[in-house]
Amino acid sequence: MKSIRMFVFAGVVGIGLMLAGSDLFSAQDRYALKAPNGLSFEDIRGYETWQVIAPSYRTDKKEVRYILGNTTLVDAYKKGASNKGIAFPDGAVLVKIAYSEMKNPVFPAALEPDVLQRIEFMVKDSKKFSATGGWGYARFVYNPASNTYTPYGKDAAFADECYQCHTLVKDRDYVFTKYPVR
Ligand code: HEC
């Protein structure tokens, strides 16, 4: 009898751990969230498995980032988009996932991603987002304590801030990241 109880207990703990590692356990349905300009996680559904374009590292913020792209974006890069003034087509999407850094415990010279900080993205729709260079911007700030996201920005004008800085690379269709040889 005792062994049956232990078995059931272990099963319940196991299921609990599985749920803790999944979206199901989150207090929030992140797909229901909207940035002030209407963009949402729906617009990047499945991004977790998109191709990595390149990593980046912000020395001032001490953040490790991955930049990912959907197939429309990757195909366009391969055809030379963002170089020589070639623009990305509508439907191209870039996602940036930012983490705080940590030193690898057994090899401290190696920096690794630690805690998720935010997820942000750019969606090309040249008509809808013509006021910001043809790209729609969105940022969702992650709160690790509650495993929830908060949309960034008070109103739709928040995207002006993104657009202003990305204008530094206007001649690369507002995209900083290059597609490195692999
Ligand atoms: C002060 C400058 C600055 C501002 C403001 C800014 N970005 Fe960026 N962004 C960058 C730089 C530099 C990169 C290159 C990669 C990196 O820094 O990690 C980048 C990269 C990106 C990328 C990956 C594609 C690319 O261009 O390389 C996305 C997506 C992105 N930013 C979204 C946003 C969003 C959304 C906002 C506004 C909420 C925003 N950015 C505001 C400077 C900025």
Give the CATH superfamily of 33-172: Cytochrome P460 (3.50.70.20)
The ligand 1 site (C-beta within 6 Å) comprises 56, 58, 65, 67, 94, 96, 120-122, 137-139, 152, 161-162, 165-166, 175-177
Domain residue extents for the chain? 1-27, 33-172
Q: By C-alpha distance, which of 163, 144, 145 is closest to 153?
A: 163
The 10 Å Cβ neighbour count of residue 161 is 13
Position 12 scores a pLDDT of 55
* Kind plus residue range of the DSSP H or E element containing 75: helix 71-78
- Run of H or E including 79: none
| Pairing of β 51-58 and β 135-143 | unpaired
Q: Could you report the per-residue pLDDT of 4-53, keeping only the tens digit for each? A: 565 555 555 555 445 444 555 578 999 999 999 999 999 999 999 999 99
